[in-house]
Amino acid sequence: MPGTTPKAVNSVVRHLLATLLAGSMAFAPLSGAFAQAHDHTMTAQTSSDTAAPAAAPASADAPAVSYHNATIFTLRTGIAEGRMVYIGVGGDIEGKVNPTLMVHEGELVQINLINGEGAEHDIVLDQYAARSAIVVGKNASSTFSFLANKVGEFAYFCSIAGHRAAGMEGLIQVMPGPRSDMDSDMTDIVRDPADLPAPIGQRAPQVVRVDLETVELKGRLDDGTSYVYWTFNRKVPGPMLRARVGDTIEVHIKNAADSVMMHSVDFHAATGPGGGADFTQLAPGEEAVVTFKALKAGIFVYHCATPSVAHHIASGMYGMIVVEPEGGLPQVDREFYVMQGELYTVEPFGTKGEMEMDYDKLISERPEYFLFNGSVGALTKAHPLYANAGETVRIFFGVGGPNYTSSFHVIGEIFDHVYDMGSVTSPPLTGVQTVSVPPGGATMVDFKIDRAGHYVLVDHALSRAERGLAGYLIVDGPREDDIMHSGPAKQ
């Protein structure tokens, strides 16, 4: 597993911590079983109506930990300077011998141990009663986690006889207070999931104007990490567009004058050459108009279709267009817009500074990042989803990709209705746990929230959570113990 510094927590660890903080179980370190991350400008009559984002709930008993991502470090055992040591892997500790691991009070810390040479090793933090499993074979691995609730310097070391004295010892520094935001100067490219146009409902077909601008800009990828994104309307994903079947879609697209690249747009909702891309290949500063008829209702992806198409998509150039059937979609209380993508960088996941695209990784399908709405922490720290208990929620979910299928899942919820493959004219599936969405594909899921709490959006290929892929749905209201509670069943 590649090494990382502060990154998204996997669901198992986070559920363990949430339970711990609720006081319902004693802490136990993870075992070796885990060894082995509005700009919308679509209008009908150039309207700017949008669904208003919900205010953040102020639930007094909501566990604050759900707003935090894990701080993850990877250490590999090895020999350096004639000693047995731990060697840092990835991020700021890459190649460092017995690196000092710096965290902040209140953070959930995950440490990954990789056996680098085949001798017997472990890692112990006796001040936290936390430890890894013992790893014996070369490349054998273990992970464990703990809550950094004590400030100070604490040793980590190998407990195998003689190994600590032989050099296998380092420090964890727990600093007081939360980690400060060092990225205030970075542009937020994340599309707020509540930023989407209002439902169309019942109306006659009409001409709908869409305004898109392709913009290249440096944005925040992660804490201390940036990337030059290629975008539609300065956000990832591009604006969610909305029409009804039978509408005529008139797309005005401009490539910003300060762009370096040519750009275009391909609508999966369109019938015609390149989905519109044949008419919209634009050099910097150029503009074009393309018009198409919305012949089929459904949930569709759009993306840039300028070679290398995979490069343009991976850099953020994808979005979604919803073509409603005649009469509109079933009503719900709240709607959200989420898309998944990958990023292929030269530098490993967790490295600080400005990242660059790695074409070899791109064509070999070896991403460093998996992302919801463009960045690590996009739907956890930056723009969580908010709702209230008793409401019905709809998520329009799509995969820009360019390469990986998503197994979309909301931990703690069951989808009441799934409009498989984005079909809104077929009967929906009911009672679904996880839905597969291919790259360039989309779906729509509806569910009623029966109990307040913190729910987690994931791709159930859960290793991707440690590469940035997690989101929060924070629900305020009654806890409804009859649905779930800590402890035995009530008689």
The annotation places the binding site for Cu cation at 263, 268, 303-304, 312, 317, 460
Identify the sign of the CA torsion 4, 5, 7, 10.
Answer: positive
What string of DSSP letters covers 105-174?
TT-EEEEEEE-SSSS-B--EEGGGTEEPPPB-STT-EEEEEEE--S-EEEEEE--STTTTTTT-EEEEEE
Cα dihedral value 427, 431, 434, 435, nearest 10: 0
SS3 assignment, position 34: helix
CA atoms of 418 and 433, how far apart (whole Å): 10
Instruction: Report d(CA 429, CA 420) in Å as an integer.
Output: 7
Residues 6 or more apart whose CB falls under 8 angstroms from that of 436 comprise 405, 406, 407, 408
As a whole number of angstroms, the distance between CA 427 and CA 419 comes to 8
Q: Which residue has the tokens 């989803």?
A: 385
Tokens 């980690």 correspond to 179
Return binding residues.
263, 268, 303-304, 312, 317, 460
Convert 65-104 to b/e letters by CB count within 10 Å (16 or more is b).
Answer: bbebbbbbbbbbbbeeeeebbbbbbbbbbbebebbebbbb
Give 376-396 as a DSSP string.
TTTBTTT--EEEETT-EEEEE
Nearest alpha-carbon partner for 214 in 157, 146, 284, 300? 284
